[in-house]
Amino acid sequence: MKKLAIALMFCLSAATGFSQCTTNRVSARKEMHMASAVFVGTVTEAQPVPEAWDFLDGVNYTVRVDSKIHGKTQPNTEVTVFSENSNRFFAMYVGQQYVLYLQPQYGRNQVDNCGNSHETDEAASAKQPNLVADKGY
What is the pLDDT, as a whole number, of residue 6? 37
CA–CA distances in Å: residue 94 to residues 31, 47, 53, 119, 121: 25, 11, 28, 12, 16
Is the confidence at residue 1, as pLDDT, over 60? no
Domain boundaries, the chain: 27-123
CA distance 46 to 94: 7
Residue 53: pLDDT band with limits 50, 70, 90: confident
Q: Which fold has domain 27-123?
A: OB fold (Dihydrolipoamide Acetyltransferase, E2P) (2.40.50)
Q: What is the dihedral of CA 123, 129, 88, 16, to 10 degrees?
A: 160
More confident: 23 or 25: 25
CB 72 within 8 A of CB 43: no
pTM greater than 0.85 (yes/no): no
CA–CA distances in Å: residue 6 to residues 2, 16, 18: 6, 15, 19
